[in-house]
Structure formats: C-alpha cells, structure tokens
Structure 1
Amino acid sequence: MFSFLQLLTALSAALLVSAVPAPSEKCCDTSAAVMNLPSNQTALVSPTTAPLYVALGVGVQNYSCSSTTLKYTSIGAVASLFDISCIDKTPAFANIQTTAFKLWDSVPASVTASLIGSKVAAPNLLGYHYFVVGPTGALVPKWDFTSTGKNAGNSSAYVIGAKVGDIASPTTPATNIDWLALNNASGSLASKIFRIDTVNGQPPTSCVAGSANISVKYTAKYYLY
C-alpha cells in the first residue's frame, strides 16, 4: 500500500507536463518575461518594463457568509508564491497553474500549499501572499518576501497593493477568480502587481445565514513589477 508521501509523489509526477529544472537563485531571468493578457480589454495594461518576479501562487481564498445578502463575501486569501521564471520558455509554463491546481485539489487539508508548489514548480519559495488590516480598518493584500530566499531578513521586501483594475477570468469566470492589477500602496518590493491565469477560488453562489467561514483552493500566476 502506498504511503501518503508516495501517493503525493506519484500524483505530481503524473501531472507534470514536462520536466522542470530545479533552479538556483541565479538562473531565473525575468528580462524576457511577458504577461499573456487578453487583447479585448483595457483594465489590465502590461508595463513596458520587465517584471521583477514571476510567481505561481498556491493557496486559498477565504469567505464569510453575509447574513443580509446570503452570499459569500471575501475576507482575504493566503498563498505561497514560487519562482517560475526559470520555466518561462518551457512547455510546462502555460498551464503550470492548472497542473498545480489538479494536485492541490486532490490532496487533504493536512497537505500545505508550500508542499504542492514545490512538487509542480520549483523548490524556490519566493514568499507569501496574505491580507492585513489597512489604515482604514479594511483588509488589504500583502505580498511578503521578507523571510525567504534572497530577500530573507530585508524588512522592506514587501508590498501592499491597491486594486486599480480587474477583469473576469476569460475562462469559466463562475469558477475562477478575477484577474487583477494593483498598484503599490506601501512597501519596497514592487510598484505593480498582477494576478492572472487564475484557477478556481470562487465561492458557492449562496449561503445559509450563520454558516461558518470557508476556504476555497486556488492557483494563479503573479507578476510583480
């Protein structure tokens, strides 16, 4: 009988589109990386400069049930972010978010997003994405690279974002969360953040008053400029 770790390894091997090289800190070059944005929209505009980071996000979108609308409302997200710039020109890159989600969706809650990302992308963990309370008391998104990789120990290696654009996912928007563009509100990590190529993350269309908060698994690509 397979142990759980053996099962996870078998699943990840079966889902990989092609072999992904294990990167070093030096091999991941973002100078030629380009976002693949839909041409028939104006809400998301790609910067003319190269991105600083190209990442795979593996995590959950969190929701609470509104007792007035009986619909789920967002209360933030938590994700681990992995450097995928080394595979930008490989066949695996285009669908890495789908590959990751298939594995992420197939494992129990005890398996962490960090383990999934390392199985399908690369062992190079860039940092974390989560939400914090902003100056007005509302939740705001944060990308935090202060404790990992080449930025470990750099207390300014984070960015808090303010949304400036969004579009519905070009594929199955009822299931996949929106694509976003955000500007820097504070921090020194990046001036712009984009979330694209989203897979899953949308909550059920309705809820029952008093329902507990839920977490919905998702994956996405993040470009930080």
Structure 2
Amino acid sequence: MRASVFLLPALSASVWAAPTFPKITAAVSDNVQALSQYFNLVASKVQQSRILGQAPVCDLPKVSLPAAAAGLPPPSPGLYLKHIAIGRGTQNYTCDLSNSTAVPQAAGAVATLFNASCVAATYPDVGAMLTRASLQFDLSESEALQRLAPSNLGVSGAHYFTTLTTPYFDINTPQWQLGASPFGKNASIAAPADAGKGLKGEGAVALLKLSSKPGGSGGLQEVYRVETVGGSPPATCQGMPATFEIQYSTQYWFYASKA
C-alpha cells in the first residue's frame, strides 16, 4: 500500500462500471445532485489524465488529512498513513421506551470497508464526493458484489464493535493483509455544517480520532473518521423503536508504526 499505484484504470471503472441504480429515499433533488456531481467530477479527472498523456500516481505517506479534521489532534510522530477506506454501514442506537423524555443512546456501528486509498489520496474531491454518493445506493448490493456502488472499489475489511466503547477494525482480506485492532476514542469534533445528510435528512456523525488498544496487528496505531455523511439519530426517542439503525458513510484513515 505504500508504493505508488496508477489511478486512471480505477477512475475509468468508477465511471463505467456502476453495479446498480440508487434507491432514492431522501429528497430526490439532493440525491440526484450528489450522484451527478460525482460522475461529472470523475469524468473530468479521467479527461484530464488523457490530456496529460499519463495516469497520476498516489503516494500515501505524502497525503494530509482533510482540512475539516484540523480540530482533531494530529497523527502521532513516527506514524505513516497506511490505508484509506470508505466505510459504508449503519450507526446503531437504542431507546428506553419506558421513559418519555429519553434520547437515543449509541450502541456501536457496523460497516463494510472499501479500499479508497489511491482515489482519496490522489483526488480528495473525488473521494469526498464518492463518500456522499455511495450513501444513495443499496448497501446490500455493494456487499454482495464486493464493490462499492457507484464505484468499482473493492472490499478491504470490516468495522464493528466488540463492546459499547470498543470499535474494532479488521483490514485483512485475501488481497490485502493490513492488520486488525481494537480502538478507543481519543478525540471528537462536530462534523462541518456542510457535511452530507443521511437518507432521511439525518445529520452527519462527529469526526473522530481513535487510538489503538492492546491486541492489534499490522502496526495499526490510530484511525481518523472524517468526511462523515449521515448516521446521527433523532433528538428524542419519540416514535422510535427500542433499537434502530441509521445508515451512514465515511472515510477511515489508518495510521501505523513503521516498525
């Protein structure tokens, strides 16, 4: 993952190999705009590469976190950027139905991770727009095809919780053996005001920095959750079931030690 990788074939596949049409469940104009902007942006990047006569390359160690993450502590000295994934899944919540004033409580998350290292590193605007656009597609079809709709990005791992306070990331697959580790929250800031909304207009979940706990592999030390889209619960439990899920997408940036 630290070597430079040609990007043009991946971008071309993103334009022409969309695996399914979106199920538009939020405001139609918002969804259509997100999808249109993504495809137009990818097409323009492919055209630029053709004009230049060569494909761009990505070099992860030279890439910086998105500007919106500036309010989080920076990566610790000595770490390098090992992987960028788009996480597509659900934020999970519970409600105390016996309490009329209860607010939803976080109950972890589940997401499939898709390898976005070169796209996000070389073309951050494409990566950010893909994160938004992917929420408009049925997650189950992306999981079945092992490709992130509407792109051709392959699965690079999974994210889930082992306890209510322990998110776990496993980025080992037959193609990539990058490591796995439990983590704990290090810092949190609210998502930007212009962050993408969820399928029913839900706000974006917070940006996070996570630090590894004992028992990991692959030298994984820190993870950042950035470019969040949707995932936030309603303000109260009124009308909600005891347990429910809110779909979200985001980018996870993995930093590892060199040793």
TM-score, reference length from structure 1: 0.75
The answer as to whether partners of 2:69 and 2:207 remain within 8 angstroms in 1 is no
Partner of 2:6: none
The answer as to whether partners of 1:77 and 1:131 remain within 8 angstroms in 2 is yes
The answer as to whether partners of 2:112 and 2:157 remain within 8 angstroms in 1 is yes
The answer as to whether partners of 1:59 and 1:218 remain within 8 angstroms in 2 is yes
Partner of 1:164: 186
Offset, 1:119? 2.5
Q: 2:206 aligns with which of 175, 178, 194?
A: 178
Cα separation, 2, equivalents of 1:46 and 1:176: 23
CA gap of 1:115–1:170, structure 2 versus 1, over 3 A, is farther
Question: Aligned AA for 1:184?
Answer: S
Cα separation, 1, equivalents of 2:130 and 2:67: 16
Alignment of structure 1 residues 133-144 onto 2, 5 Å: 133=163, 138-144=164-170
Offset, 1:76? 0.7
Offset, 1:170? 1.5
The answer as to whether partners of 1:80 and 1:114 remain within 8 angstroms in 2 is no
Alignment of structure 1 residues 61-80 onto 2, 5 Å: 61-67=91-97, 68=99, 69-80=101-112
The answer as to whether partners of 1:127 and 1:147 remain within 8 angstroms in 2 is yes
Question: Aligned AA for 1:99?
Answer: A
SS in 2 for 1:159: strand
C-alpha RMSD over aligned residues: 3.2
The answer as to whether partners of 1:65 and 1:208 remain within 8 angstroms in 2 is no
SS in 1 for 2:21: helix
Q: Deviations over 1:100-149 (max 9, x none)?
A: 22x23xx4x7545565952334432110001113xxxx441000123442
Cα separation, 1, equivalents of 2:244 and 2:126: 31
CA gap of 1:199–1:39, structure 2 versus 1, over 3 A, is closer
Partner of 1:145: 171
Q: Which runs of 5+ in 2 are unaligned?
A: 1-18, 24-31, 47-56, 196-201
Number of aligned residues:
202
1:57 aligns with 2:87: yes
Q: Deviations over 1:30-82 (max 9, x none)?
A: 222210134863x4323454310011111110111134452111111111111
CA gap of 1:200–1:37, structure 2 versus 1, over 3 A, is same
Q: Which runs of 5+ in 1 are unaligned?
A: 22-26
CA gap of 1:97–1:78, structure 2 versus 1, over 3 A, is same
Partner of 2:49: none
Partner of 1:24: none
Partner of 1:220: 250
Larger helix fraction of residues: 2
Question: Aligned AA for 2:217?
Answer: S
Question: Aligned AA for 2:110?
Answer: V
SS in 2 for 1:127: strand
Question: Aligned AA for 1:140?
Answer: T
